Amino acid sequence: MRHIISIGDFDRKEIDHLLDHAGQIDKRKYDENALRGKILAVLFFEPSTRTRMSFESAMARLGGTSVSVGSVEACSIAKGETLADTVRVVSGYADAIVIRHPKEGAARLAAEFATVPVINAGDGAGQHPSQTLLDLYTIRESMPIDGIDIALVGDLRYGRTAHSLAFALSLYNARLHTISPKGLELPVNLAAGLKERGMEIIEHDDISEVIDAVDVLYVTRIQRERFPDSASYFNVSSNYRITPELLTRAKKHLIVLHPLPRLDEIDPRVDKSSHARYFEQSGNGVPVRMAMLMQVLQ
């Protein structure tokens, strides 16, 4: 039984293989009945549009079915049931579980109690491996990932997509440029681990310092829901904004990615620019998650 909890569960060869498979799926080369009769339990204890809907459409495209509870309030978690018990019970109703939870480590805990494979769809400020796979897939559509210069912009402390992506990029000899508000830098232990793996990480105060040097700009939302108080949120918001004016200095092939939802980090005028790839990126969630579901369910 194979769980997908952290991007660190994959080695480079496995990631490349999965992305190749997603590429085949993108070309409509897949069996529409591959997961006929299989059921995916969707346990989302945090808001989601893209991750949840793309897992559900991935399942449907492969002939499978998804089941879910409407919300936390609508299930027995609201009565005080533990996550461990919920997961044990749900294992009896489905062939795999995809879980999103506000607490870091929740997906790992779920995997300990589940008797079916568990996929982590985001655990607090921890990891978001399926997002990383679609991020890598999107980069690969524009350029080879090996050796890229990538700037991670925004909330690198609480942003789980940035954590997983940074880790994965250490397998591709990428050079990481980080630009974040004070106090929202990449967690020290994560940065230390990446450096130990040979990754070069360069901190910058301003995006304009690196805009002409990077191949990928990965922009993230300030994770307001993870802030201890609203005052500290207001101190950091709205400082890190991508505009068409800023992009005039970018390399021609630079791509702008964002896991979405965006608030005001990317000026809507950027949407029309040849650099913008964030909507394609979210669309790539379906083929990538189809490949993931086939891996755990077949």
Q: Which is nearer to ligand NCD, 30 or 186 (CB)?
A: 186
Shortest distance in whole angstroms from residue 161 CB to ligand NCD: 5
Interface with ligand NCD (CB under 6 A): 50-51, 122, 128, 131, 160-161, 221, 259-260
> In one letter, which amino acid is 149?
D
Q: What is the Cα–Cα distance from 87 to 108, expressed in whole angstroms?
A: 12
Q: Which is nearer to ligand NCD, 61 or 221 (CB)?
A: 221
Shortest distance in whole angstroms from residue 45 CB to ligand NCD: 12
What residues contact 157, with CB distance under 8 A and at least 6 apart?
125, 180, 183, 184, 185, 186, 187
Shortest distance in whole angstroms from residue 122 CB to ligand NCD: 5
Q: What is the Cα–Cα distance from 157 to 4, expressed in whole angstroms?
A: 22
Q: Which residue has the tokens 């925004």?
A: 154
Q: Which is nearer to ligand NCD, 91 or 161 (CB)?
A: 161
Q: Which is nearer to ligand NCD, 91 or 282 (CB)?
A: 282
If you compute the radius of gyration of the chain from its CA atoms, what whole number of angstroms results? Answer: 19
Shortest distance in whole angstroms from residue 212 CB to ligand NCD: 27
Q: Is the peptide bond before 261 cis (omega within 30 degrees of 0)?
A: yes
Q: Which is nearer to ligand NCD, 88 or 108 (CB)?
A: 108
Shortest distance in whole angstroms from residue 266 CB to ligand NCD: 12
Q: Which is nearer to ligand NCD, 161 or 180 (CB)?
A: 161
Q: What is the Cα–Cα distance from 104 to 108, expressed in whole angstroms?
A: 9
Shortest distance in whole angstroms from residue 261 CB to ligand NCD: 6
Edge-to-edge strand ranges of the sheet holding 118-123: 65-68, 39-44, 96-101, 118-123
Edge-to-edge strand ranges of the sheet holding 216-219: 200-204, 175-179, 149-153, 216-219, 255-257
User: 3-class DSSP state for residue 161?
Assistant: helix
